[in-house]
Amino acid sequence: MARGRTGVADLRGPGFLTIAGGQSASAEPGDALKARLAEQARALGFDAFGICAPDSIPEAPARLRAFLDAGYHGEMAWLADRPERRSDPRVMWSEVQSVILLGFNYGPDADPRAVLTRKDRGAISVYAQGDDYHDVIKARLKQFARWLVATGGGDVKVFIDTAAVMEKPLAQAAGLGWQGRHTNLVSKGRGSWMFLGAVFTTLDLPRDAAEGDHCGSCRACLDACPTAAFPAPYQLDARRCISYLTIEHKGPIPREFRARLGNRIYGCDDCLAACPWNKFAQAGREAKLAARDALRAPALGELVRLDDPSFRALFTKSPVKRIGRDRFIRNALIAIGNSGDGELASEAERLLADPSPTIRGAAVWALAQLLPPERVATLKAVHLAAEVDDGVRAEWDWGAAE
């Protein structure tokens, strides 16, 4: 993820946009073309621009291999699919001569951690409170790529977090920032809040100097993580990351992490928000990416009443929609269990009859946190006999024993 998503890349498929051009007779000299490219990037709303060579991240293969060998990718099997394509742009496309990295600021207008104290409300990661950044930025990247082909010739391929491209190390090589100890890109001028897009081109363009590491001895991001997801600086165990657990993980959330999720129901911004370089961050300017009022701090009691049509309606054009209602309600029920608000127990109790075992199991856990043991035992006696899912039955056994 380039972006936004805290810690966990949203890399899903092999698709990319290809624009064929052929060398233009009016192609400009490299420096002049690069200056015009930077100007065009700014005109399209991009906040950062840089160029690196396709062989500029030689350390990437070994780092990716170590990440995969440790199992840190969890259920994200696509990360292990042909890893050589991720770690070397030339394997992805042998004709690439230059990689253009573009950054898009999405800085929040307030501290995203403020909602964590409002236990009856859900915390949705900053990047997911507006329209899906993939759609918004992809359109700009296509415009940029077409302009490049029309002006400078050559062929291009465009990537926005949906193919096997390691945008963050490439962005560091192109001078947009550096990968901080939380593994996300940090910019001196924009802090931790930047989406990334990449344009591969057959043109040989002047390179930018790589950005050095400016984390120093700071470990604010590591200490901020509620689940200790960083086994060491610059290493992320996605299996412990709240972004992974609430978005990528499909089954019941492991019990050891449930209380630590607090009211985070989609993603987590803690490590990003803790970075001291955010003192230079600015609020994003793109209206489509601005937080919708309904998603800034939604009431948990209202969220768990969503059926599939209303879930899709609330999250239309939002990245949240891709996890589906079941996982989302699962997350909201964990937050209800952590709320300490007994009045929300009735919402969890109603979902004991939900068709989804993922939701039923999360409802059992939430009730075990909110109700007296004798009330949980009574509910178990009513519901357990009809329960056909082994996982939910195990939740009842655990919940009644608490």
CA-to-CA distance for 3 and 184, rounded, in angstroms?
A: 8
Is residue 239 annotated as involved in ligand binding? no
User: Residues 10, 88, 161, 354: which is the catalytic one?
Assistant: 161
Q: Which two tokens stand for residue 164?
A: 């096997």
What SS3 string covers 370-382? Answer: HCCHHHHHHHHHH
Consult the annotation and say whether 52 binds a ligand: no
197: three-class secondary structure by DSSP: strand
Element (H, E) at 142: helix 133-152
Helices 357-370 and 373-383, packing angle to 10 deg = 150
As given in the structure block, the two tokens for residue 146 are: 């077409």
CB 200 within 8 A of CB 156: yes
Hey, what are 138's tokens?
A: 């992809």
**Has 225 been labeled as part of a binding site?**
yes
Q: Is 142 annotated for ligand binding?
A: no
Is 321 labelled a binding residue? no
- Verify whether residue 55 is a known catalytic residue: no
Question: Six-digit token pair at 92?
Answer: 């992805």
Assign 92 to helix, strand or coil: helix
Q: Say whether 269 counts as a known binding-site residue.
A: yes
Query: In this structure, what token pair is assigned to residue 389?
Result: 């899912």
- 11/88 Cα distance (integer angstroms): 16
Do residues 28 and 221 lie in contact, with contact meaning Cβ atoms separated by under 8 Å?
no
Q: Is 326 annotated as a binding residue?
A: no
Contacts of 270 (CB under 8 A, 6+ apart): 6, 113, 224, 225, 226, 242
User: Does residue 397 have a known ligand-binding role?
Assistant: no
Binding positions for tRNA: 250
Active site residue ranges? 161
Binding positions: 86, 161, 185, 196, 215, 218, 221, 225, 241, 243, 250, 268-269, 271, 275
Binding positions for cob(II)alamin: 86, 161, 185, 196, 243, 268-269
Binding positions for [4Fe-4S] cluster: 215, 218, 221, 225, 241, 268, 271, 275
